[in-house]
Chain A
Amino acid sequence: MATVFEVLLFENSVDAELVSNAIFEEIDRIEQELSYFIPSSDIFRFNRLQAGLPLRMGVSAFDCITLAKEVYTQTNGAFDPTAGALIAGRRPWDEQEENPIGGIVPPESEEMAQVGMDAIAIDAESHSATKLADGVTIDLGGIGKGYALDQAKTILEDWGIETALIHAGQSTSLPLGAPPDQKAWPMRILDPRNEKDELARFELQNMAISASAAINDSHILDPFTGAPVEKRLGAWAIAATGATADALSTAFMVMDSENIRRYCEEHSDVWAFLVENGNDRCRLKYFGDWKRFSLELVF
């Protein structure tokens, strides 16, 4: 998943070390199923299969694809893990080493025809997924980190550990319980253009938060056009699970503000925070009742 996972605990050193090891082993196991690049992973194998051939998947890969389809539908395609087809050279078996970020992809192009979760059918009984068109590929990087945190949470619960903060590269976090003498875990939202600048503070516990932002040389592609998203500097999503928050933060980078507001109204367990370009300073928007998180704007 090409990121650094971290587990913060208030435990004695032996349990802290051993439960962390157990969590990292589980993340490695998940990576073996979800990886876009590991040849034995379910996703790698799925991506090279012909259309019409079902592939039985492991629990993690199937759960992530199922949730990805759900969020894809709920966001009208704004979260789309098949959009990687829009980037030339993403498919490693093509032997292409260059990986340019494309501009606008013509709507009638072959690449656009290979995009969309509607092109993947799933069967819960057999835990199988089938692509409905050749060339469709899926990259679960936009949901896998959050999913891994959810599984880490299960391990912590199994061990009877109620207070912890687990995060994936600080972009997706799952704060559990509260540190000693605090009501919840203190969180901060930083300016994507300059991460030294704080934009907001809030408190969170037993829910996940995920961030998406176009920082440094990275890009988020608009699955509707194939072009890098420019309308927004960053988007944060709070949800009950890491996987959902992970997927929604990506979708919220792409969706219009009005659609995000409507989504949060329709989903009372989802909150959004957006940072957009303003004239001389960035513009903040947030949807859902953030008072429950004691939101404080410091912008």
Chain B
Amino acid sequence: MSKQNPDNSTQAKNINRRGFIRYSAAAGAGLLLSPALSKAAIQQPQPINTAIIGVGRQGKILLDLLIKIPNVKMKAICDIWKYSQLIGERRCKSYNHIVTVYEDYKEMLAKEKELEAVVIATPDFVHHEMTNACLRADLHVYCEKEMSNDIEKARSMVQTAKQTGKLLQIGHQRRSNPYYIHAHRLMHKDRVFGDINSINGQWNQQKQIRPFPPRLASKYPIAPALLKKWGFTSMSDFYYWRWFNKFAGGPMADLGSHQVDIFNWFLEAPPASVYAIGGLGYALTEAKANNVGFTPECLDHTLALYEWKTKQGTVRGYYQVNLTTSYNGFYEVFMGKKGSMVISEILAKHAMFKERSAATLEWEDEAEKLEIGGEQAMLFDPLKSRKAKGKMDKEGLKIEQDLDKPAHQPQLENFFAAIRDGVPLNCPAEVGFETCVSVLKTNESAVTGKKITFNSQDFVA
């Protein structure tokens, strides 16, 4: 293997084009990190004793971040599957976190008396039960989205958080994403796009459906009684819970929820109405062809039309989520009187388009120019375009510190900062509830074929 890899140099050149913004941002960020890190190193606050319930695919992503967040001490992990327990415990041990492993979260709550916080990454249908129990056990909770596959159960989570006074953060991680925070500032504080009049977005990600791995099934079986205790009828139920209405909210909840949350956040209002269509076909064919041993129930694609009543007027938009195709991935588009913006967790999709009638922006000369589909566009650089309103403020500094962190890390850090320092949660339960209602009602519209008009009480827990 050579040290000078030709592929790498090609990659560097490719990065240099659209990635320039990233590296110019990076060069400054090191300097700005200095005071914060030094301060943190000196103060060394007490670690926050934390547990995680659910160490499946999403739980492992969160656990990998949890174990390296300063002053978070993992004390316990909980999962009903031995294989997930094994991996979770191994990850913790490799980072010097010695954890106790539980199969039942109730036993964990009974025995772990030093916990302060719990991260929940289990299937949607048990979020409410676990969240409410943890809150009542005097613990702060970070719960993955979707809050629930049932609006009333989600409502109970908000109410329990209020009653107990404990923190409940919902895992809509884009709320802490520095690029989204910056874009929100451009839209609302700097009014770069003018009044927003329409939006659209999509998450297309083709899903392959394969049988439960026979080797894992035989090496790490879950006893039928244990499956039944948690509401599952088989290992397939358990492993593929996202395909069942009794456990999950389908792709609108798994994927679309992130983007509906962005629409609501950026438009500063929940939707006024939704009309959706959807279907289930591709997944049934896949499941049958691959002899997976279960029949998918959730819609495999949904297309929705929304209206929002904002301070500036009515905004209309459409959204699609497809597990049947991966075409063009995922992104959100906001279109306004002065310009439009494409934003995504995929950085390479970011672009801003200005209307000819719009005035020149203060940072426009410095922005990298692009041509997308024959249209002139530019990047909105969190460092350069922040200058639109002059000096760096506290929020600007935070944006810079978070620029290069993995997607879920800032949201988790916000949760722990809220516990330790009292900073506001970026996605408290009330906000997560608005999104949950928006999403589950979209599913309802797609299934019934009826347009749903919301009233403000729908979003009140």
Q: Which of A2, A36, A127 is B95 in contact with, Cβ under 8 Å?
A: A127
Q: Which of B3, B23, B31 is A83 in contact with, Cβ under 8 Å?
A: B3
> By the criterion CB–CB under 8 Å, are A141 and B16 in contact?
no
> By the criterion CB–CB under 8 Å, are B216 and A92 in contact?
no
> By the criterion CB–CB under 8 Å, are A48 and B27 in contact?
yes
**Contact mask for chain A residues 90-112; partner B; CB cutoff 8 A; 1 contact, 0 none:** 10111101010100000000000
Which residues on the A side are within 8 Å of B447 (C-beta)? none
Partner-binding segment picked from B5-13, B316-324, B376-384? B5-13
Asked whether any CB of chain A lies closer than 8 Å to the CB of B390, the reply is no
Which residues on the A side are within 8 Å of B23 (C-beta)? 39, 92-95
Tally of B interface residues using CB under 8 Å: 54
Which residues on the A side are within 8 Å of B87 (C-beta)? 158
Partner-binding segment picked from A196-204, A217-225, A284-292? A217-225
> By the criterion CB–CB under 8 Å, are B34 and A50 in contact?
yes
Asked whether any CB of chain A lies closer than 8 Å to the CB of B114, the reply is no
Asked whether any CB of chain A lies closer than 8 Å to the CB of B26, the reply is yes
CA distance A59 to B37 in the complex (A): 20
Q: Which of B16, B29, B95, B403 is A92 in contact with, Cβ under 8 Å?
A: B16
> By the criterion CB–CB under 8 Å, are A2 and B29 in contact?
no
A56-B68 in contact given A14-B214, A18-B213 (Cβ < 8 Å): yes
Asked whether any CB of chain B lies closer than 8 Å to the CB of A133, the reply is no
Q: Is the interface of A mostly helix, strand, loop or mixed?
A: loop
Which residues on the A side are within 8 Å of B37 (C-beta)? 53-54
Q: Is the interface of B mostly helix, strand, loop or mixed?
A: helix
> By the criterion CB–CB under 8 Å, are B1 and A172 in contact?
yes
Tell me, rounded to whole Å, the shortest Cβ–Cβ distance linking A195 to chain B.
14
CA distance A220 to B1 in the complex (A): 8
CA distance A142 to B5 in the complex (A): 10
Which residues on the B side are within 8 Å of A18 (C-beta)? 210, 213, 216
Tell me, rounded to whole Å, the shortest Cβ–Cβ distance linking B268 to chain A.
29
CA distance A139 to B86 in the complex (A): 31
CA distance A222 to B446 in the complex (A): 64
CA distance A94 to B12 in the complex (A): 11
> By the criterion CB–CB under 8 Å, are B3 and A57 in contact?
no
Partner-binding segment picked from A68-76, A113-121, A206-214, A266-274? A206-214
9 chain-A/chain-B pairs, Cβ below 8 angstroms: A11-B215, A44-B404, A53-B34, A56-B70, A90-B12, A97-B13, A141-B8, A158-B86, A220-B2
Chain A residues near B (Cβ < 8 Å): 2-3, 11-12, 14-15, 17-19, 29, 32, 36-37, 39-40, 44-45, 48-50, 53-54, 56-59, 63, 83-84, 87, 89-90, 92-95, 97, 99, 101, 124-127, 139, 141-142, 145, 158-161, 169, 171-172, 210-215, 217-221, 246, 249-250
Q: Given A48-B29, A158-B86, A218-B6, output 20 extra A-B contacts at Cβ < 8 Å.
A: A3-B1, A12-B214, A15-B214, A18-B210, A19-B213, A50-B30, A54-B41, A58-B64, A89-B12, A90-B12, A95-B20, A97-B12, A145-B1, A159-B213, A169-B1, A171-B1, A215-B2, A219-B3, A220-B3, A249-B1
